[in-house]
């Protein structure tokens, strides 16, 4: 398994794991590579951050910043209140 960076261990924070199975994305490898490249470059507090990535023959593993329920609730309430105003 190839590893892209080791920032995750240093942070010791909860994380989200996105697993992209290689068999399910045959022919779309370039799309996956572009997604990873874009996520690697993006540094914005409003966008979930890519912390680390691992590659194996069967899957790509993206370790990402974990969005908590509190953030989801805030987004839902913001959208709901916007809809009720219209």
Structural domains of the chain, with CATH: 2-85 (3.30.200.20)
Q: Which pTM does this prediction carry? A: 0.64
pLDDT tens-place string over residues 47-58: 889 999 998 988
Contact 52, 39 (CB under 8 A): no
Three-class DSSP category at 23: helix
Separation of alpha carbons 54 and 7, rounded Å: 12
Nearest CA among 59, 67, 58, 56 for reference residue 16: 67
Specify the pLDDT at position 61: 93
- Cβ pair 35, 25 in contact under 8 A: no
pLDDT tens for each residue of 21-44: 988 888 888 888 898 999 999 888
Instruction: Write the CB contacts of 32 (distance below 8 Å, at least 6 apart in sequence).
Output: 20, 25, 60
pLDDT at residue 8 is higher than 60 = no
């Amino acid at each position: 398994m190839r590893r892209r960076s080791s920032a995750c261990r240093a942070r010791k924070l909860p994380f989200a794991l996105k697993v992209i199975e290689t068999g399910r994305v045959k022919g779309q490898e370039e799309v996956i590579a572009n997604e990873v490249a874009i996520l690697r470059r993006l540094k914005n507090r409003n966008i979930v951050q890519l912390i680390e990535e691992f590659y194996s023959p069967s899957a790509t593993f993206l370790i990402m910043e974990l969005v908590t329920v509190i953030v989801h609730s805030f987004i839902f309430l913001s959208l709901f209140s916007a809809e009720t105003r219209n």
